[in-house]
């Protein structure tokens, strides 16, 4: 499994992945919708899966003497690591933004706080559970799975932003950098982590089931 994962990192993951992950640093930009910076990693996933298709990576990997479930797991790990790498870059940038650059908060969209990252994990989960099992129905087609996955992701982002902005009283608690609101935001962050973990497991199991039916 380790060698298969290293194959993904060296032969499938393109250098642009790291550039798009660094776009999470856009959280440092004042008056900028921070959710946009967190969305660029989806572009790297699209590019990586497209490159794998162009190089017949899935067909080659499936011919190796390994279970198909490991092929699916390696692909899932690259997606999860891409998303988590984006989050790891965003968190220190969010701290600098909140305590140094924008202590009064962001005027365009949610502040970069714990609730924001909890929502982001849920948004990534929505994309993953649509894109990955759908992709593994064929093992190479990315067009419709990616289109529907990104659309659902964007609708979830907009839905959370509108909910926080227009729900009476919610904005003062969720869209805030005041220490008294951290407890409530921590609950959302914990919920996001739980959702991401559970959805990741479900996504993997669905993908394994779908890929087992594919004839390559």
What SS3 class is residue 204? Answer: helix
| Rounded average pLDDT over 170-196 | 91
Instruction: Identify the DSSP state of 113.
Output: S
Distance set, CA 11 to CA 1, 100, 140, 162 (Å): 15, 40, 16, 40
Q: Please enumerate in sequence order all residues whose Cβ is within 8 A of that of 99, keeping only pairs 6 or more positions apart, or say none.
A: none
pLDDT at 84 over 80: yes
pLDDT at 6 over 80: no
| Rounded average pLDDT over 184-199 | 96
Residues of the chain with pLDDT > 90, as a percent, come to 55
pLDDT given at position 3: 66
Q: What are phi and psi of 166, to 5 degrees?
A: -115, 0
Average pLDDT, the chain: 88
Task: Domain ranges for the chain, please list them.
Answer: 2-212
Q: Write the pLDDT tens digit of every residue in 32-47.
A: 899 999 999 999 999 9
Alpha-carbon distance of 92 to 96, in angstroms, equals 6
Question: Using 50, 70 and 90 to split pLDDT, how confident is the model at 60?
Answer: confident
121 with 196: CB under 8 angstroms? yes
pLDDT given at position 7: 66
The separation between CA 21 and the C-alpha centre of its own chain, rounded to angstroms, equals: 10
| Rounded average pLDDT over 12-23 | 87
Q: Please enumerate in sequence order all residues whose Cβ is within 8 A of that of 110, keeping only pairs 6 or more positions apart, or say none.
A: 34, 35, 116, 119, 160, 161, 164, 174, 175
| Rounded average pLDDT over 51-78 | 80
């Amino acid at each position: 499994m380790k060698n298969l994962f290293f194959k993904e990192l060296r032969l499938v993951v393109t250098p642009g992945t790291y550039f798009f992950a660094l776009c999470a640093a856009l959280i440092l930009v004042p008056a900028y919708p921070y959710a946009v910076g967190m969305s660029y990693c989806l572009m790297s996933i699209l590019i990586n899966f497209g490159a794998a298709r162009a190089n017949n990576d899935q067909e080659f990997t499936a011919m190796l003497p390994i279970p198909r479930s490991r092929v699916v797991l390696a692909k899932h790990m690259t997606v999860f690591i891409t998303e988590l790498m984006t989050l790891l870059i965003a968190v220190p940038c969010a701290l600098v933004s909140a305590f140094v650059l924008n202590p009064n908060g962001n005027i365009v969209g949610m502040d970069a706080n714990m609730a924001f990252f909890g929502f982001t994990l849920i948004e990534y989960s929505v994309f993953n559970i649509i894109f990955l099992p759908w992709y593994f129905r064929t093992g190479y087609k990315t067009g419709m799975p990616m289109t529907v996955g990104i659309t659902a992701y964007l609708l979830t982002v907009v839905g959370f932003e509108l909910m926080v902005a227009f729900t009476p009283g919610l904005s003062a608690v969720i869209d805030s950098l005041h220490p008294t609101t951290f407890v409530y935001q921590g609950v959302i962050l914990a919920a996001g982590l739980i959702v991401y973990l559970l959805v990741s497991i479900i996504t993997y199991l669905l993908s394994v089931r779908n890929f087992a039916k594919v004839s390559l």
